[in-house]
Every structure is written in structure tokens, then in C-alpha cells.
Amino acid sequence: PSCRRYVAGGRCKSTARLEGKVVIITGANTGIGKETARDLAQRGKVIIACRDIVKAEAAASEIRTETGNQQVIVKKLDLADTKSIREFAEKFLAEEKELHILINNAGVMLCPYSKTADGFEMHLGVNHLGHFLLTFLLLERLKQSAPARIVNVSSLAHHGGRIRFHDLQGEKCYNRGLAYCHSKLANVLFTRELARRLQGKFQRQAGHLSAWLSEHLTANALHPGSVYSELVRHSFVMTWLWKIFSFFLKTPCEGAQTSIYCAVAEELDSVTGQYFSDCQPAYVSPRGRDDEVAKKLWSVSCELLGIQWD
């Protein structure tokens, strides 16, 4: 019915192949990450980077059988632990000479207050800082492999977020719904600042190669839609509501379409720093367009992670 079609939203129509290309997808053992991996595995080599290896192996095995592509590989990555992120990156860089698409997809939602191994509030730590560090560690390989793309899965929830620098770890005041919104706003701001820096850096380095690179290493963010997935598992009320209204929610396959679109669509070859929903540009909240906050979040993130990223 047309109502269902409306809920399903946009579809990625690109038939782009990824032969000889390497894709990393974080958190691809379930939900939209798994569906993104299933689609991209029909096009090229996919590395599923997950905390739960058993679940990830089951997903990879299913995808290998279905697509006939044996190049669906599982690697351990716990975004709530910077040691694990560094180990993952080190192994990847030792084993793979190229990286063409990095999809920062994994996320937590509505967790009761808890902290990562490094003492970061869980939503901020996993959804923002974990992916910030991972991108930092893999950036040179992405540049060397250009044309390459970084895809950050954010959410419409970024509209409800704000970056509370005075209480970044939510120690003074914590609301798990808002903590999720704040982390999704951080994804949008990170994408914006990353794209700005990539363009700026290459423009400063005179010469044709630099102009080519700035167009060919892009970073975009997206809202997958309201998807019927395990993401709400920490909230009894949300789980219950999700079941009742499942008809009005996207399936994980429908929810994966914009991630796939941002990863492969030919028309996005030189599009960067944008935010998409239903496979088209979408409205970003005023807070998500605040360049001063984006710059400050960048430097605070570097400080928290103990890295220098100029």
C-alpha cells in the first residue's frame, strides 16, 4: 500500500560495483549495519567491525552464503574501549593496503548511565569519541586510497541535542534520551568539521593533486529513518511502542538505504560535509550548523582522547 511505501522512504538505486575496494562497517552484526553489509557485500570486500564476535560471525556467514562473496571478514572492535580501537586499527593497517569506505554505523541508545573503559559517558564515548578516534587512526589510509568516503550514521534526534561543554560526561545531569540526542548532534558537527578540514588542508597544499584529493575524500552524515531494530533494547517503553507501531517504522533493509547511498552513489563523488535522509539532502538543525561549536568539539575530543589531529 502507498502508506507503507511512504514509510519505506528513498531507495539507493546505484548499481556501482566495488571490485578491488575495501569497506569497513562498524556494528554490522545486526540492524541497519548488517543490511548495509549485505548490500555492499554484493559489490565488494566488506569488513564487519564488531564487539560481539559470535554474533558478527553468524551475520557474516549468512551474508557470505547469500551473496557468494567470501570477502566478508569479521574483526573485533569495541568502541567503548580506546585500547580496542587502537588494536583494531593497527591490525587493519598491517593487513590491508587500502581503505575506500568507512561507515561509522555502530551506536548505543537510551543506556542507563554508564561509562566506557576510558571513563566517557557511554553515548558520547561510543557514538562520537569512539568513531572520532577510529577515523583519525584510519585517515591516512583513506587518503592514500582516494577516491574514498567517510559515512557517519547520525539521526533526526540531533535536533534535540546540544553540546554541553560544562557537563560533557553527564555527571551533573543525565537523561538517557537527551544523551543520545547530544551524541547524534556530535556526529553531525564532527562530519561538518572533518569535511571543512579536509577541504581546507588540500586547498592550502597547492597543486592539482590537492584539489583532486579534496573532492575525493568526502565525509557525509545521515539519518537512517525510524527503524525497527534492537537499538531501543535498553528501554522497556520504547521496545513496547516500537512493537505497536512497527507498521510505521522502516525495516532494517529500508533503514540501510541512505547509508548505502552515501557509500556508493556516483552523484556524491565530490559532495562533502552534507547530511542526508531518504537518499536526499535533509535539513540540519541550527545547532548542527554551528561552526564555532564544531571547532570546539573537535579540540575537546582530541584532548579527551589524547591525540593531536590538525
Nearest to 130, CA basis, from 55, 197, 51, 56: 51
CA–CA separation, 159 and 292 (whole Å): 17
The pLDDT of residue 252 is 85
Angle CA(241)–CA(247)–CA(249) in degrees, nearest 5? 70
- pLDDT category at 250 given cuts 50, 70, 90 is confident
pLDDT of residue 16: 95
154-188 pLDDT, tens per residue? 999 999 999 999 999 999 999 998 999 999 999 99
Please, which pLDDT band fits residue 1 given cuts at 50, 70 and 90?
low
**pLDDT grade for 237, boundaries at 50, 70 and 90:** low
Distance CA 218, CA 150 (A): 6
Does domain 1-203+210-305 bear CATH number 3.40.50.720?
A: yes
**Is 180 one of the annotated active-site residues of the chain?**
yes
User: Using CA atoms, how far apart are residues 176 and 50, in angstroms rounded to an integer?
Assistant: 23
Q: What is the pLDDT of residue 202?
A: 54
* Residue 3 pLDDT class (50, 70, 90 cuts): low
- Residue 206: is its pLDDT beyond 70? no
pLDDT tens, residue by residue, 102-123: 999 999 988 999 999 999 999 9
Task: Report the pLDDT value the prediction gives residue 149, as an integer from 0 to 100.
Answer: 98
Question: Has residue 269 got a pLDDT over 80?
Answer: yes
- How large is the average pLDDT for residues 136-149? 97
pLDDT band at 256 (very low <50, low <70, confident <90, very high): very high
pLDDT digit string, tens, across residues 8-45:
678 999 999 999 999 999 999 999 999 999 999 999 99
pTM to 2 decimals? Answer: 0.92
Confidence of residue 251 (pLDDT cuts 50, 70, 90): confident
Choose, from 180, 228, 261, 275, the residue flagged as catalytic.
180
Could you tell me which of 38, 58, 233, 141 has the C-alpha nearest to residue 241? 233
How distant is the alpha carbon of residue 49 from its chain centre? 12
* pLDDT over 80 at 100, yes or no: yes
pLDDT tens digits along 58-95: 999 999 999 999 999 999 999 999 999 999 999 999 99
What pLDDT score was predicted for residue 110?
A: 86
In this predicted structure, the answer to whether residue 203 has a pLDDT above a threshold of 90 is no
Q: Using alpha carbons, select from 224, 226, 200, 228 the residue that is nearest to residue 214.
A: 200
Omega of the bond leading into 224 within 30 degrees of 0 (cis): no
pLDDT, greater one: 110 or 125: 125
Residue 138, C-alpha cell as written in the block: 584510519
Which of the listed ranges 48-52, 212-216, 247-251 does the model predict with the highest average pLDDT?
Answer: 48-52
pLDDT-above-70 percentage for the chain: 85
Nearest 5°: phi and psi at 45? -80, 130
With bands split at pLDDT 50, 70 and 90, how would you rate the model's confidence at 232? low
pLDDT at 143 over 70: yes
